[in-house]
Structure 1
Amino acid sequence: MPKIKIKTHSGAKKRFSLTKTGKVKRAMTKKRHLLNGHGKTTKLKRALRGTTYADKTNEAAIKRMILYK
């Protein structure tokens, strides 16, 4: 029997990446599609452009979805 390769989750591969130390990097959230008006300060909107790391409780699930990345 040949080895079966597992498909990468197409949504996860667009949203997450791995660092060299094995952490999962993700984009900031907080309703990014509502950036005009809606009471958000310029400081907050600027901070939302950045990245952060996924929580350790979610890391294993995310790594299963992006096996070959």
Structure 2
Amino acid sequence: MRVAFVVIAVIAVLLSGCNDEPKHYLVLCDAQDANGWSLVNTEKSNGYIMACTYQSQDKLQSYTRRCDDSGCNIQ
């Protein structure tokens, strides 16, 4: 299932051209990260996912993985 999604995503990117494509962006945000934190927000720009925000199970902590010209980093 994931392979089909990746193939479709690659085809869509190739067909859409790269005029408005940001230098770095996320392909998807998982519903949970490796530590079991839940996805609570995504930020898009021109249809590209630029940030994923996750929240801890106790809802006391959160972090955002954000993409910019220098890459995709945790903030």
Q: Which has the higher helix share?
A: 1
Higher relative contact order (CA 8 A, sep 6+): 1
* TM-score normalised by structure 2 residue count: 0.22
Relative to its length, the structure with more strand (as a share) is: 2
TM-score, L = length of structure 1: 0.22
